[in-house]
Amino acid sequence: MELISPVDIAKQMVMAVQDYSQLAARSLSNVFRRPRYVADTLVQMDQVGVGSLPIVVLTGFFTGAVLALQGSNTLDRFGSLSLIGQLVSISMVRELGPVLTSLMVAGRNSSGMASELGSMKVTEQIDAMRALGTDPSKKLVTPRVLSTVTMLFFLTMISDLVGLSGGAMVSTLMLGLNSNQYWSKAWQSLVWQDVTMGLTKPIIFGFILSTIGCYYGLSTKGGTQGVGKATTQAVVAASVLILVVDFFWTRLLMTMIGS
C-alpha cells in the first residue's frame, strides 16, 4: 500500500471540493442554456421518482407507525395520549419525512448515478461525447439534478402523508383513539414554519445527492473496480452530507423564521 503524506491528502481534499463546487455550479448554470434535453430529464424523473416510490412509501408508513407506537408510551405517562397526532405530524413534516426520504433516495439513486456515469467514464463514452461537441455536464448532469430536485420534493410530501397514515393506523387500531381526533390534532398543530422547513429541505437534499452521485461517477478511475469504489463513496458522501446540512439548515431556518 502506497503511503501518502498529509500534505498530499490535504491537497486532494481541497481539489475534490473545488471540482465538486465547479460541477455543482455548472449544473445550475446549464439550466438557463440551450439545448434543454427535456426527454432526458423526463426519463430521469421516471427513474428517480417512480422507481423510488415503493421504498419511500414503506419507509414513511412504518416510520409514522413506530413513531406513534413509541410516543404513546411517553405521552400516556402524562395523560396526553390524545396529542399523538400532533407528535407524528410535526416530527414527520419537519424532520423525519425529508431526511429519511432523502437518505433512501440517496442510497438508491446516488449509487445508480455514480455507477452509470462511472461505467461511461471508464469505457470512454464521455470522451466520445466531448469529441462530438456535446457538453457532458449539460447532457448527463443537469437532467439528473433537475429530476432529482423535482421528484424528491413530491416524494417527501408523499412520505409525510403516508407517515401520518401509519400513525393513524397505530393510534386507531392499537391505542384505541378516535380517528377524527387524530387527524384534527395532526392538521391543527402544523403552522407555516413547519411546512416551510419540511419542504425546503428536499430541494437542497436533492441537489446534494444528485451532484454527489454525478461527481463521483465522472471522477471514476481504474476500470470496473473504480466503478464499485465510486458507487460506495457516492452513497456514503451523500448520506453524511445530507445529515450535516440538515443540522445547519434547520438551525438557520429556526433563526430566520422561528421554531
- Position 25 in a domain: no
What pLDDT score does 259 carry? 61
pLDDT, residue 2, reads 57
What is the reported pTM? 0.90
Contact 209, 236 (CB under 8 A): no
Residue 5 falls inside a structural domain: no
Q: Is residue 26 part of a domain?
A: no
Residue 208 inside a domain? The answer is: yes
pLDDT at res. 133: 81
Is residue 81 in some structural domain? yes
* HEC assignment per residue over 9-60: HHHHHHHHHHHHHHHHHHHHHHHHCCCCCHHHHHHHHHHHHHHHHHHHHHHH
Residue with cell 407524528: 88
Q: What pLDDT is recorded for position 74?
A: 81
Domain-embedded: residue 162: yes
- Please give the Cα distance from 152 to 140 (Å, whole number): 18
**Splitting the chain (259 residues) into consecutive groups of 10 residues, what average pLDDT does each group show?**
71 86 88 85 90 92 92 80 86 92 92 89 86 85 93 94 92 86 86 89 94 91 84 92 94 81
The tally of domains found in the chain comes to 1
Task: List the domain range (segments joined by +) for residue 227.
Answer: 33-257
H-assigned helices in 142-221: 142-173, 179-188, 192-218
141/44 Cα distance (integer angstroms): 11
145 located within any domain: yes
Query: What is each CA distance from 35 to 40, 133, 139, 151, 214, in whole angstroms?
Result: 11, 13, 9, 22, 20
In a domain, 238, yes or no: yes
